[in-house]
Chain A
Amino acid sequence: MQSTFPFAAIVGQEEMKRALLIAAVAPGVGGVLVFGDRGSGKTTTVRALADLLPPLETVAECAYRCTPTARVGLCGRCQAGEAGARFKPVRIPVPFVDMPLGATEDRVVGALDLEQVLQNGVRRFEPGLLARAHRGFLYIDEINLLEDHLVDLLLDVAASGENVVEREGLSVRHPARFVLVGSGNPEEGELRPQLLDRFGLSVEISTPDDLPSRLEIIKRRDAFERDPAGFNAHWSRAQARLRKQIAHARELLPEVEVPDAVLEQAARLCMQLGTDGLRGELTLLRAARATASLAGELEVTSAHLREIAPSALRHRLRRNPLDDAGSAVRIERGMREIWPA
């Protein structure tokens, strides 16, 4: 396994970095979609996130990494309280599962364990990628190239948080709640609106075109390629600071308050932009709370709201092909109405 490029060493791309940090702090915000030009560092940044995630507390030897203190949403084995396993918590790294293009259905949802059945005639369920991603991250690069029947599977599981398998004489259900992270290039095709809607935050990125930051990116990349270990050592303190920031934000998050005035502003902004349904508003507030906690603050301000509104709402605007303005511009317009300069 080669070492990954440190998150802290990524130049610019503040919106994408913020969205990913929010996902790390508050999984409930609901995943991040990154769309942008080729060669702008989408995959590098997403993969770098894995290194920053604080460890996860789980039941020892549970294939589905159940929470030791939880009472609901447990896998069958933990629910039955087998062997007192529930009382033995362990800490493991947060799962960060890559779902490659060309994955087959049986590996995504899980299937019959072929070895067991062929050798011992035992019918056993072999968990798939969805089980492995439970309580962690599921990353799909080039998500717009994903085959339709896999997209259908994902839509279902991402909405219900549960994977139901009925195949080859197996009947299994297990929890599968994960933060979905997707990236892609819009020129290769677009996402189905249903899938788009499953993402809490959506960011659009482009390659920087100012000379100094481009140069800095190339320099860091070159230094990393020539000496990955040395480069990582150089950035280890910055990485540690980020990890601490995430851990601290997670502690603060439950205590972050949203004043009524800010609630109202969020509602007005969503109304102004005509976002579909309540999901936009909820995501906006959740993301704003995470933004506040990342800043170490206990109260959401309108500044937090403004910071995160484009990412939270961009993909929820009703499509209007005749409005030439991109969604970013429309959100900008809406925000100016709510918060006149």
Chain B
Amino acid sequence: MPDPWQLAQFAAALLAVDPEGAGGVVVRAAAGPVRQRWLALLRQWLPADCPWRMVPLDIPDSRLLGGLDLAATLAMGRPQAERGLLATADGGVVVLSMAERLSPATAGRIAAAIDTHEVQVEREGLALRAPSRFGVVMLDEGLDEDERAPAALRERVAFEVRLDDIRINEAGEALFAAEETARARWLLSDVTSTDELLTALNEIALRCGIQSLRAPILATRVARASAALHGRVCPDESDLMLAASLVLGHRATRLPVNGEPDTTPAMETEPSPPPNHDASHTDTGETPPASAQQPLAMQDRVLAAIATALGPEVLASLALRGQVRGAAGSAGKSGQQHSGGARGRPMGTRRGLPKRGERLDLVATLYAAAPWQAWRRKEAADTARSFFIAREDLRSRRYRQRSRTVTLFVVDASGSSALHRLAEAKGAVELLLAECYVRRDQVALIAFRGTAAETLLPPTRSLARARRSLAALPGGGGTPLAAAIDAAAELAAQVQRSRATPLVVFFTDGRANLARDGSQGRSAGEADATAAARQYLQRGFGTLFIDTSPRPHPRAEEFAHQLGARYLALPHADAGSLARLVQHSSEGFSPR
């Protein structure tokens, strides 16, 4: 198997061969010399005159999609359209910086252009369509697994390269020359695809638990690009191998299941490494050696290669995910709801000068002034001036103030919080979810049990996802209360940074028995929990503490006060009354 840097280079070269077909790449790496080097290679391998468009995070629709060119419109006295960035990127590459912070709305616009191969503009009095075929490079600097480029776009691009573990001195020489990718682009239209290739990719995708059909389709295109890059008109096993590891590997949601019960023979067969490029331009027209053989054996070899490429850590986490999430499977890992840009969503316009948080809406102002031009020109007896704007024409664009509430549910699923209480807590959370849904609020879910607290659900408005992750929550184990408080504080702070108001609701009996360092014991656990509570209190988040213990203890109430939380004891409450109480209390926090 090639090393990670070589694989990253393959992704760049294949993207350069077929930017539109491959869709693009997620480059998961901190900004730095390795990423620079990778981007430089990609540019070098793309055609010299190919558009390369950088998209800033907060790009307005008028620049992304296109709109009215105000300066030209006023100068010419007739509407002039301005092409958006996606239209000017036609035939090239769009680079999204800080893609992990991209709003789902912007991602949706870009995804629509990818799907239809054109940008459709219905804005500011203009109705235009422009061809727009491009590859997307998403620079994703997210630190943890919850911080990722929008799922809608990740789904549509073939590659994901991770450069963080590559040091700059390992990022060696280029595998290809620009002429090679140029020749491959030219050859690409002649490359066929065989039934064996399609069958194999499809089967591998399914065995890795990849539901979406875009994955095998993208992999097929990448296999063809790989064949072209190596001067073949018919993809062979090495192309299949490369496409599978680059396109399917990072999408796997479970350990690849082998078709044959005995996997050792597959492991013993030396997986043929993606061919060395020097050796391969000459073999144009060579028949694929593997296609005639047993397809199963080949797929096992490919799966073994993918497993090697994924590395032990990823495999371990996949194995774990298989256990915990079970049937929820593919749904568990996708899309984060980003909190969107700070500018908020436009909410329409109003008359008058912009007030705080508003901006002058030039286009609307122009529309408002337009009907009066003839009259004003006559009135002012000034024909030299081409356009008159009066104070009453001014229009301001309002933006939605992001005063959303995000309710964070922190649910104790430990053994001490007896299991039947967990069922009730689940029920109450579900009722509250429905409430939040009606109010268009977001919810997030943190569960703690065993040794750690885990964010099961980052802030989302999707009831479907919340319900699924809640239903899959198992119970039992220790009560790592300190860890739960830390996790809640962190997530709440994150919510605050996205300009929303967090409301934290703890469902627990407050009986910590696990310290932060993982040591058992009630006293150590409680000492740590008290320390965590002290830090938490300083942040001043709106907090509710629901005591789920069957016999409420004054200590729990005391602890709630340490957290700065409102305390509710519910000895015999059912889910319905629990929900009513929480809802009632949350109203007390909302004016903040």
Contacts and interface: CB of A to CB of B under 8 A. Distances in A.
A260 interface: no
A185 B107 CA distance: 13
A321 interface: yes
A108 B64 CA distance: 19
Contacts of B111: 142
Interface string B53-65: 0000000010011
A69 interface: no
Interface in B111-141: 111-112, 115-117, 119-127
Interface string A66-103: 00000000000000000000000000000000111111
Contacts of B202: 211, 214-215, 218
Interface string A255-291: 0000000000000000000000000000000000000
A38 B125 contact: no
B577 interface: no
A170 B331 CA distance: 48
A104 to B, nearest CB: 4
Given A106-B124, A189-B461, A322-B575, A214 B370 contact: no
Contact of B112 (A106, A141, A190): A141
B216 A214 contact: yes
Count class of interface residues, chain B:
35 or more
Contacts of B465: 186-187
Contacts of A307: none
A14 interface: no
B463 to A, nearest CB: 6
B486 interface: no
A147 B345 contact: yes
A101 B198 contact: no
A62 B444 CA distance: 52
Interface stretch (B276-284, B300-308, B427-435, B505-513): B427-435
Interface string A16-59: 00000000000000000000011111010001000000000000
Contact of A187 (B115, B122, B462, B471): B462
Contacts of A189: 104, 337, 460-462
Contacts of B314: none
B220 A222 contact: yes
Given A115-B79, A190-B462, A145 B348 contact: no
B122 A112 contact: no
Contacts of B193: 222, 226
Contact of B368 (A47, A168, A219, A222): A168
B452 interface: no
B366 interface: yes
A107 B124 contact: yes
A206 B329 CA distance: 13
A317 B400 CA distance: 32
B346 A147 contact: yes
Given A119-B78, A187-B464, A214 B195 contact: no
A117 B373 contact: yes
Nearest to A126: B125
Contact of B64 (A102, A145, A217): A102
Contact of A106 (B116, B367, B471): B367
A186 B461 CA distance: 10
B462 A121 contact: no
Given A2-B117, A215-B202, A322-B575, A102 B124 contact: no
Contacts of A149: 346-348
Contacts of A190: 437, 461-464
B527 interface: no
B371 A123 contact: yes
Interface in A149-177: 149, 168-169
A152 to B, nearest CB: 9
A330 interface: no
Interface of A: 2, 37-41, 43, 47, 98-108, 111-115, 117-119, 121, 123, 126, 128-129, 141-142, 145, 147-149, 168-169, 185-190, 192-193, 206-207, 209, 211, 214-215, 217-219, 221-222, 225-226, 319, 321-322, 324
Given A114-B78, A209-B206, 5 more contacts: A38-B214, A104-B124, A114-B125, A186-B465, A190-B462
